[in-house]
């Protein structure tokens, strides 16, 4: 819903079971030979290694694999129009009504995206966050609430949120409270305490990644692949620490209900019976 029909992100990027069922052995071989080429890959090795040994092993095992000199161009991710308010309700086998929202944000690498991530931390990370305090604890209209950033390298990233309606509560009231908290952050900005708490949470998460070889390899490989900047994995903490309260307030303006995809999942009757 957040991307128009025809855009590469309009459908799940991993495909579907229908896609797999329709794929022939020839399709799979063609896809593999096209994209799984050394000139379209990033190899990341972390840990207590001997660089010369690693390079020798890479040459031995990967050197004989031929490059693909005719890699196809990637699809155009440009978005011609801003996201307009869209709304949909799906009745399905779910236990409780659940609100899902999506807002477009700048792509990965844009200098304003970290401020949006800090805004999401302030709004929905932990029991002391604004949305949890308002919707779950004070108003008691939601069983849970979330809001976070899905960072994409092209077109637009997304801020995606969700809240499960508490039995007996009003879906209209839940959505109104959700919107009011987002609007309040955009109008007033965060407090100094909220900024410090969000920065501490992000720093803790980033330091945990640096301490885990698998997470570190993923982070280095991601930034090498998407931004051609593997060293960014080691600058994340300082990037988020540099975000100001005013930048967070400005980033929160993207959480506009008039520029949002809204989806309600509701029990179809059989699930709630």
Q: How confident is the model at residue 80 (pLDDT cuts 50, 70, 90)?
A: confident
- Res. 40: pLDDT tops 50: yes
pLDDT > 70? residue 271: no
Mean pLDDT of 11-34: 91
Give the tens place of pLDDT for each residue, 135-185. 999 999 999 999 999 999 989 999 999 999 999 999 999 999 999 999 999
Asked if 109 and 227 count as a contact pair (C-beta separation under 8 A), the reply is: yes
pLDDT, the chain, mean: 94
pTM (2 d.p.):
0.90
State the pLDDT at residue 256: 96
**pLDDT of 32 over the 70 cut:** yes
pLDDT exceeds 60 at position 242: yes
pLDDT exceeds cutoff 80 at 273: no
Confidence of residue 16 (pLDDT cuts 50, 70, 90): confident
């Amino acid at each position: 819903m957040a991307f128009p029909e025809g855009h590469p992100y309009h459908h799940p990027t991993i495909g579907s079971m229908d896609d797999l069922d329709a794929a022939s052995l020839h399709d799979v071989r063609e896809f593999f030979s096209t994209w799984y080429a050394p000139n379209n890959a990033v190899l990341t090795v972390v840990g207590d290694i001997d660089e010369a040994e690693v390079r020798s092993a890479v040459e031995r095992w990967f050197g004989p694999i031929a490059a693909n000199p005719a890699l196809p161009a990637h699809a155009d991710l440009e978005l011609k129009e801003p996201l307009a308010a869209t709304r949909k309700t799906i009745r399905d086998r779910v236990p409780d009504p659940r609100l899902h929202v999506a807002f477009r944000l700048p792509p990965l690498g844009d200098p304003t995206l970290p401020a949006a991530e800090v805004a999401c931390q302030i709004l929905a990370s932990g029991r002391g966050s604004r949305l949890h305090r308002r919707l779950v604890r004070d108003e008691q209209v939601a069983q849970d609430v979330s809001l976070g950033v899905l960072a994409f390298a092209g077109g637009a990233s997304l801020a995606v949120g969700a809240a499960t309606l508490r039995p007996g509560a009003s879906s209209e009231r839940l959505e109104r409270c959700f919107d009011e908290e987002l609007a309040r952050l955009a109008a007033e900005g965060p407090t100094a305490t909220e900024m410090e708490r969000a920065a501490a949470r992000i720093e803790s998460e980033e330091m945990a990644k640096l301490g885990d070889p698998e997470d570190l390899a993923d982070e280095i490989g991601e930034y090498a692949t998407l931004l051609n900047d593997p060293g960014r994995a080691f600058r994340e903490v300082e990037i988020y620490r540099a975000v100001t309260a005013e930048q967070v307030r400005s980033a929160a303006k993207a959480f506009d209900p008039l520029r949002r995809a809204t989806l309600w999942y509701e029990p179809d009757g059989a699930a709630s019976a």
